[in-house]
């Protein structure tokens, strides 16, 4: 195991990202929350940090990842579209967008990420992508996104009565919910006229 060779951290997540197709193309990967929980159990007592990579759509997902055993999360899609991300602004149907591509997309592979997908010796026209390219709405400065994410995490910790991540991991528990409960958790029975900065329903 990686712990035995002295790693400082383990990155967890095969295919949960919004622009990733690995689970469909390669048939590999499990629910991100399950993966975090299983790896956290394996790392228990080792002092090795767990980095949850992908699957974060809302600030509440960060709270859940921390409860499941992550020490931190990697976020890509939520920052896509901010001023600080690469890519030019483009206008589409009167709205501003930025290009967002996965590391497994053909364009990213052609620019150097082939080895990450075990295709370093593959010709450009034979690449097998595990991600897509798309566009996301322009979001302005990343600081605004960070503020909303931090606020959501603070709120989650407040609701569970926890002052630290360690306390959150000890005290908070998961409860299985139904599809009806998931629908109830989201905005329902109303047409949103003014979207808040920290919520969209896609």
Q: Active-site residues: which are they?
A: 20, 116
Number of C-beta neighbours around residue 148 at 10 A: 17
Q: How many CA atoms lie within 13 A of 145 on its CB side?
A: 20
Rounded distance between C-alpha atoms, residue 132 and residue 109, angstroms: 11
CA atoms of 169 and 70, how far apart (whole Å): 9
Q: Write down the number of H helices and E strands in the chain.
A: 7, 6
* Strand, coil or helix: 182: helix
SS (H, E, C) 132-149: CEEEEECCECHHHHHHHH
């Amino acid at each position: 195991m990686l712990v035995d060779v002295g790693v400082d951290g383990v990155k967890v997540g095969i295919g949960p990202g919004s622009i990733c197709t690995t689970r469909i193309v390669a048939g590999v990967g499990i629910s991100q929350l399950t993966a975090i929980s299983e790896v956290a159990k394996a790392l228990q007592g080792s002092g090795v940090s767990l980095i949850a990579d992908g699957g974060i759509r809302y600030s509440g997902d960060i709270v859940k990842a921390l409860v499941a055993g992550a020490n931190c999360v990697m976020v890509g899609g939520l920052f896509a579209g901010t001023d600080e991300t690469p890519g030019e602004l483009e206008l589409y149907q009167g709205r501003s967008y930025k290009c967002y591509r996965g590391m497994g997309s053909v364009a990213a592979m052609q620019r150097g990420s082939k080895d990450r997908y075990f295709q370093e010796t593959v010709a450009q026209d034979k690449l097998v992508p595990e991600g897509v390219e798309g566009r996301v709405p322009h979001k302005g400065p990343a600081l605004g996104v960070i503020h909303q994410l931090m606020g959501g995490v603070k709120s989650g910790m407040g609701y569970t009565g926890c002052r630290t991540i360690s306390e959150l991991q000890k005290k908070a528990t998961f409860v299985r919910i139904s599809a009806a409960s998931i629908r109830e958790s989201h905005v329902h029975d109303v047409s949103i006229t003014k979207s808040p900065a920290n919520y969209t329903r896609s």
